[in-house]
Amino acid sequence: MRVTIELSPFLRSVAGVLAAVLMLPINSVAPQKGPQGRAPQPLILEGQGSFYVGGRLKHTPATSGSRNDPFGIEDDIMIDQMYVQYQVPQNHGTHVAVVMVHGCCLSGKTWETTPDGRMGWSEYFLRQGRPVYIPDQTSRGRSGFDASAINQARLGAVPSTSIPNVFTFGRRAAWKIFRLGPEYPKAFPDEQFPVGAFDELAKQVIPDLNATLSNPNPTYANLAALGVQLKGAVLMGHSESGFFPERAALVDAAGVRGIISIEGYCPTTLGQRELAGLARIPILLVFADHLSDIPEIPGARALADCRTFVRQVIDAGGDAIVLHLPEAGLKGNSHMLMQDLNNLTIADLVLAWIDKHVERSR
């Protein structure tokens, strides 16, 4: 069976990790309880900070949608930049940096404290010795966006149909998109997302302004440049950005040491040259549970397409694998698996894959 063949080498390594994880008491990872949260051990950092990658000047006729600005509203603004926040743990040794990219209608917050106040993946990876870099996608959050078209419409200079679509979703849709259950507010019986904290997840959902961007999305090139700047990094995407690491590698693979695509979508029509390029990079694709249980969500189709993509990469000589969590014994995980109750168990699987496929391959 093809699926078993793809998974078995990884599952063997996973089994040991799972066993190790299961021997730890679950409270060995202390929860963060909101502000002034106390971690069990101090977090010791060699450094931290933030910076922007990319960006270009654009001359705009509408820095504002009001002509009353004393400076005028025609000027050069910076667009397409990508904000990146980073932390480097003291004992990182030779570990490769991990870049964690959020999905649609979300921000770098995705990887921080969970909605119910537990430790997120960014801090957990740090505590496992990994330098962690958290961008806000170009045109999202602290990266800013180009509001020119919106302002021009307000001024009457362009028709309102010229406004880029500003996409977000409300809580009824979010319940299904995040696969918390069949219908708001009913949860799947084995649901791993902390549904009691759903309102806190809803606060993370912010407008997606990717429609303001040029094509191809500048985030691809920005991620590629970040990898080069870091002299090599594992790029991790989620959902909307699930395939961004591959797209970044197709722009410039020089800094892409590994690719992790979480709950994303895979094209199945890449050419041989593209597949040959991706075949030089270890690739892990992670899928959670209930992929077929919500009619509006094409989860099973996404998994099938990604299995096809994996087969194409393997046929091109690459190292690609699908980790479908239920097949690894983890049931009930949501689309927001990095925030689920067992999020650190899944993190351990990802870290084990990095150790085996990225770092030991050096």
Which positions from 14 through 43 interact with its own copies, judged by CB under 8 A?
A: 32, 34-39, 42-43
Cα–Cα distance measured from residue 230 to residue 130, given in angstroms and rounded to the nearest whole number? 13
Nearer to its own copies, 3 or 57 (CB): 57
335 touches 325 (CB < 8 A)? no
Cα–Cα distance measured from residue 127 to residue 42, given in angstroms and rounded to the nearest whole number? 10
Q: Does 93 bind its own copies (CB under 8 A)?
A: no
Q: Does 84 bind its own copies (CB under 8 A)?
A: yes
Cα–Cα distance measured from residue 102 to residue 109, given in angstroms and rounded to the nearest whole number? 8
> For its own copies, which residue of 173, 251, 276, 304 counts as binding (CB under 8 A)?
173
Instruction: Determine the length of the chain.
Output: 362
Cα–Cα distance measured from residue 236 to residue 284, given in angstroms and rounded to the nearest whole number? 9
User: Segment near its own copies (CB under 8 A), from 136-144, 213-221, 261-269, 299-307?
Assistant: 136-144
Q: Does 300 bind its own copies (CB under 8 A)?
A: no
Cα–Cα distance measured from residue 114 to residue 337, given in angstroms and rounded to the nearest whole number? 10
> For its own copies, which residue of 202, 251, 276, 304 counts as binding (CB under 8 A)?
202
Q: Which single residue is written with the structure tokens 């093809």?
A: 2
Nearer to its own copies, 11 or 202 (CB): 202
Nearest residue to 135 via CA among 33, 252, 217: 217
CA distances from 259 to 104, 125, 253, 328 (A): 19, 16, 11, 20
User: Segment near its own copies (CB under 8 A), from 2-10, 196-204, 252-260, 310-318?
Assistant: 196-204
User: Segment near its own copies (CB under 8 A), from 3-11, 80-88, 248-256, 315-323?
Assistant: 80-88
User: Segment near its own copies (CB under 8 A), from 151-159, 251-259, 284-292, 315-323?
Assistant: 151-159
Q: Does 161 bind its own copies (CB under 8 A)?
A: yes
Residues 95-134 that bind its own copies (CB under 8 A): 97, 107-109, 112-113, 117, 119-120, 123, 131, 133
Which tokens hold the place of 210?
């990717």
Question: What kind and span of H or E run contains 256?
Answer: strand 256-262
> For its own copies, which residue of 95, 127, 130, 176 counts as binding (CB under 8 A)?
176
Q: Does 207 bind its own copies (CB under 8 A)?
A: yes
